[in-house]
């Protein structure tokens, strides 16, 4: 399942070079992932009920085009691959017109919230990878 949100670049997200600071792209991607979980019906509280929360273990981010204050950006998130305890999401930050400003593959691991050790991915979370 692919999801998309739209954001507007705010003045506080701009660096001395007059474009979005690199660290903000990571934040934008996180907003996209949170929306993906929500639309799956898996907000944090539901993951806790399932005894499985997710943590980011790897982020591979490519910066393609600069983004500027006031631009409307789309954050697109979709399943990439799944393993036993980990999975990856492919994300893109798109400029108006669809041009890719940044793309990333984010790898996450499912952990038990109490023991803090990895655990198998619950079926509810695995389902979108099989669709």
pLDDT along the chain (131 residues), means of 10: 97 96 97 97 96 98 97 98 98 96 98 97 95 78
What's the CA gap between 5 and 25, in Å, rounded? 14
Write down the pTM of the prediction. 0.95
The contacts of residue 94 (CB under 8 Å, 6+ apart) are: 73, 74, 75, 76, 100, 101
Q: Which helix (H) or strand (E) holds 61?
A: strand 53-63
pLDDT at 101: 98
pLDDT at 96: 92
pLDDT at 80: 97
Nearest to 128 by CA among 95, 88, 74, 75: 88
- Tokens matching residue 15: 């660096």
Domains of the chain in start order, with CATH, are 3-129 (3.10.129.10)
pLDDT at 131: 78
pLDDT at 14: 97
CB 118 within 8 A of CB 110: yes
């Amino acid at each position: 399942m692919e999801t998309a949100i739209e954001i507007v670049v705010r003045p506080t997200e701009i660096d001395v070079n007059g474009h979005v600071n690199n660290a903000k792209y990571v934040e934008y991607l996180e907003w996209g992932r949170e929306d993906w979980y929500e639309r799956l019906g898996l907000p944090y509280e539901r993951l806790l009920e399932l005894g499985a929360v997710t943590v980011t273990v790897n982020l591979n981010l490519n910066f393609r085009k600069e983004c500027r204050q006031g631009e409307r950006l789309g954050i697109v998130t979709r399943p990439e691959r799944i393993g036993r305890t980990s999975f990856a999401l492919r994300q893109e930050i798109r400029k108006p017109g669809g041009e890719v400003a940044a793309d990333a593959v984010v790898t996450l691991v499912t952990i038990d919230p109490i023991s803090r050790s990895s655990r198998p991915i619950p079926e509810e979370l695995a389902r979108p990878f099989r669709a």
